[in-house]
Structure 1
Amino acid sequence: MSCVGYLGPAGTFTHAAALELAAAAELVPMPQQSAALAALAAGEVDGVVLPIDNSVNGVVLPTLDALLATPGATIVGDVTVAVTFVALRRPGGVPAEVVVSHPHALAQCADYVRDLGLPVRTSSSTAEACRDLAPHEIALAAPICADLYDLEVLATAVEDHSGAGTQFVHVTSEDSAAGAGEVTLLAVLPERNEPGGLIRVLEPLHDLGVNLVNLVTRPVPASGGRYLFLLWADGLAPEQFVDYRARLAESGVRCSHLGGISGHVRHGGDAGSGVVPRRLGAGS
C-alpha cells in the first residue's frame, strides 16, 4: 500500500481532498507544506496532498514556495473541495473570548468574526484549532470536525461567500512529463530584475497562442531584488513547452515544469461579475 501525506490533523479540508485523491493509500498527517515535501524528497511517503488555490483568497503561497524548494516534486492530479465553515465550541464552555482558526478560514469568515467582536488566534489548520480548542474559544472549521472532536455547533455556513472552493494537488516525485493537465504550472526565473523582464517571459506564450489564467510573483530570498514568476498556462502542449523553454533560454531565463492541473479553481454557485473591489468599481 502506498503512503500519502496530507496537512493534518484529521478533519482538515486537506484530509477530505486526500480521501478523494488517494483513497487506497495510507494517509499520514503532516504539520506543514515544507515538512510534507521534505518527507516526499526523502522517500518517506509516495506522495502528498496540499492546498494550492482558493476561489476567494487566491493561491496558497506556502505550498508554492515548498514546491519551488523541492526538485523533482511534480503535480500529477488535483481536486476542488467545496468549503463551508461552522462555528464550534467545547460543550458547556465558558463565554467566548477568542476566535481561532487557520488564517485563510478567518479571512473567509471575516464578517462573522467581525460581528462576534472578538480577537482572533491563528492555528496551523482548521482541525488543529478544534483539537486544541480551549473552553473560552470558538473554532471555525469543517463540519466534520464537530463529531471528530466532540464539539458543539454554534452556527453553520459562517463563510462570507457561499460556493467557495479550495483546489488541492497530489504531488509525487514522478517525472514532470507525468504532470500533464489542462493547465500547466511553470516557474520562470529571469537572470535579473530589469525593465521588460516580464514581457520577455510572456511574449513567447503569446506567440504560441497560449493563454494565462494566473500569474504570481515571488521574491528570490537573499537575492538583492530578483523575482521569479509562477505561470498557470492554459492548454500548453508538451511540444509547446519545449519550444517555450528553448526561447527563454536564449535570453538567459530558466524555466521549470511543476506539473499540471485539470483547470483553474472557480467559485461555485451562480456565475456573475463577482464582488469588484471598490477601488476598481464603476466611477472610481
Structure 2
Amino acid sequence: MDFSAEPLSAVDLSSSPGDGSKVQVAYQGQPGAYSEEAALKAFPNCEPVPFDEFEAAVELWIVEKAILPVENSVQGSIHRNYDLLLRHTLHIVGEVQLQVDHCLLGLPGVRKEELNYVMSHPQALSQCEEMLNDLGVTRIGSPDTAGAAKKVSLDGLRDTGAIASSRAAKFYGLDVLDERIQDNDENITRFLILAREPIIPGTDRLYKTSIVFSLEEGPGLLFKALAVFSLRNISLAKIDSRPLKQCPIRIVDDSNEGSYKYFDYLFYIDFEASMAEPRAQCALGHLQEYARFLRVLGCYPIHTGQS
C-alpha cells in the first residue's frame, strides 16, 4: 500500500512549477477524500494536492486552483467554508456537484457484524444514521472520511470500520463491507472552484454570480434588497443567512489587509446572471443603496452536470 501522498504543511511547500504542467488543485483532507474526487471531476487531468487545513492551502497558495465544499443537499450550507471566502482574497471561478455515495469499509476479512466502532467525519456519520443504528456501533469522529479509512488501515483496527468512498477503500487496501449506506440516496455536495484571480464573465453561456452582503437596520430592507433582482427578472438560485450578532468576522480587502467587523447578519445569494449583463450591474448598484457591506465572490459558468 502506498500512503506517500501526504497532506502538505508549511515545511513541505515549494514554488509551483511554471513549465505548463497540469493544473494543481488544492483540497482539504487525505488522498481518497470526496474533495479530491470533486477536484478530479472538475479537472480530470489535474494534480490534486492535499492539505490538512484549507487555510494553509489558501495562505501559502502554491497551487493554481482550490476546491471547497460549501453545500450539501441533506445538511445544507457549510457556513465555516463560506466565511473563508471573506477572510481571504479569493474568487469563485466555477462549481462542481458530486454525488456522495458512502461505503462502510473495514480490514480485509472483517465482517460488518464484527465491528464495535465506526469512524468518519461527523457529517458522514450523521448521513448514515440508520445503518449505524442497525449495527449498534459506537461512532468516532474524524477530521475527514479518507483520514478515517487511513487510520483503520494503518493501525490494523479489526473492530473498527470507516465510512468513506469506494475510492478510499482501494487507496488504503480496505474491503467495502456495504455500499450506498447513506440515509438519503440523493446526497449531493456542491463544491466551489477558487482562484486568486477572477475569470472574465461573458454572455456566451449561462452564468451564476455569488455575492455576500449585510444590510443597514430598518423595516423591510431585506424585501427591498431581494426586490432589486425581481425587478430585473433575475432568478435567485440560493439565499442563505448567517447570524453574527456579537461575533465579529475578519474580512480582507483587495490589498489583503484584514479587519474585524460586526454584522447582525450576512446574506449569501447566488443569482443567475452574468456580471457582463447590464441588468446584473444595475441590480448590484441598486442593492448598494441598502447594503452596509457588499462583495462579489465570483461570476462563473453554471454547473451543467458535465466535467
Query: Normalized against structure 1, the TM-score is what?
Result: 0.81
Instruction: Map 1:104-119 onto structure 2 (within 5 A).
Output: 104-119=123-138
Deviation at 1:48, TM superposition (A): 0.3
Specify the SS of the correspondent of 1:64: helix
Q: Once the two structures are superposed, what CA deviation does each residue of 1:132-154 show, in whole Å capped at 9, x if it has no partner?
A: 12433211111111111111221
Asked if 1:30 corresponds to 2:51, the answer is yes
What does residue 243 of structure 1 align with? 282
2:170 aligns with one of 139, 143, 147: 147
Deviation at 1:225, TM superposition (A): 5.8
2:151 aligns with one of 132, 137, 143: 132
Greater alpha carbon shift after TM alignment, 169-178 vs 77-86: 169-178
Q: Residues 241 and 52 from structure 1, CA distance in 2 versus in 1: closer, same or farther, beyond 3 angstroms? A: same
Asked if 1:212 corresponds to 2:236, the answer is yes
Asked if 1:171 corresponds to 2:188, the answer is no
1:183 aligns with one of 208, 222, 227: 208
Greater alpha carbon shift after TM alignment, 78-87 vs 161-170: 161-170
What does residue 270 of structure 2 align with? 232
Instruction: Map 1:4-153 onto structure 2 (within 5 A).
Output: 4-40=25-61, 44-71=62-89, 73-91=90-108, 95-133=114-152, 134-153=157-176
CA contact (8 A) 2:42 2:96 kept: yes
Deviation at 1:264, TM superposition (A): 7.4
Specify the SS of the correspondent of 1:132: helix
CA contact (8 A) 2:214 2:263 kept: no
Q: Residues 20 and 64 from structure 1, CA distance in 2 versus in 1: closer, same or farther, beyond 3 angstroms? A: same
Deviation at 1:231, TM superposition (A): 0.5
Q: Percent identity?
A: 28
**One-letter code of the match for 1:26?**
E
Q: Residues 200 and 31 from structure 1, CA distance in 2 versus in 1: closer, same or farther, beyond 3 angstroms? A: farther
Number of aligned residues: 261
CA contact (8 A) 2:221 2:290 kept: no
Greater alpha carbon shift after TM alignment, 179-188 vs 143-152: 179-188
CA contact (8 A) 1:179 1:260 kept: no
CA contact (8 A) 2:201 2:300 kept: no
Query: Normalized against structure 2, the TM-score is what?
Result: 0.76
CA contact (8 A) 1:131 1:149 kept: yes
Question: In structure 1, how many angstroms separate the alpha carbons of the residues matched to 2:212 and 2:279?
Answer: 15
Q: Residues 236 and 201 from structure 1, CA distance in 2 versus in 1: closer, same or farther, beyond 3 angstroms? A: farther
Specify the SS of the correspondent of 2:182: coil
Question: In structure 2, how many angstroms separate the alpha carbons of the residues matched to 1:59 and 1:139?
Answer: 24
Q: Residues 265 and 157 from structure 1, CA distance in 2 versus in 1: closer, same or farther, beyond 3 angstroms? A: farther
Question: In structure 2, how many angstroms separate the alpha carbons of the residues matched to 1:78 and 1:179?
Answer: 16
CA contact (8 A) 2:97 2:303 kept: no
Question: In structure 2, how many angstroms separate the alpha carbons of the residues matched to 1:256 and 1:176?
Answer: 16
Specify the SS of the correspondent of 1:91: coil
Asked if 1:257 corresponds to 2:257, the answer is no
* RMSD of aligned Cα (Å): 2.6
Question: In structure 2, how many angstroms separate the alpha carbons of the residues matched to 1:109 and 1:57?
Answer: 12
Q: Residues 39 and 197 from structure 1, CA distance in 2 versus in 1: closer, same or farther, beyond 3 angstroms? A: farther
Q: Residues 129 and 195 from structure 1, CA distance in 2 versus in 1: closer, same or farther, beyond 3 angstroms? A: farther
Residue ranges of structure 1 left out of the alignment (5+ in a row): 267-284
Question: In structure 1, how many angstroms separate the alpha carbons of the residues matched to 2:131 and 2:209?
Answer: 36
CA contact (8 A) 2:25 2:64 kept: yes
Question: In structure 1, how many angstroms separate the alpha carbons of the residues matched to 2:150 and 2:202?
Answer: 35
Q: Once the two structures are superposed, what CA deviation does each residue of 1:196-232 show, in whole Å capped at 9, x if it has no partner?
A: 2322321211111112222111134336661110002
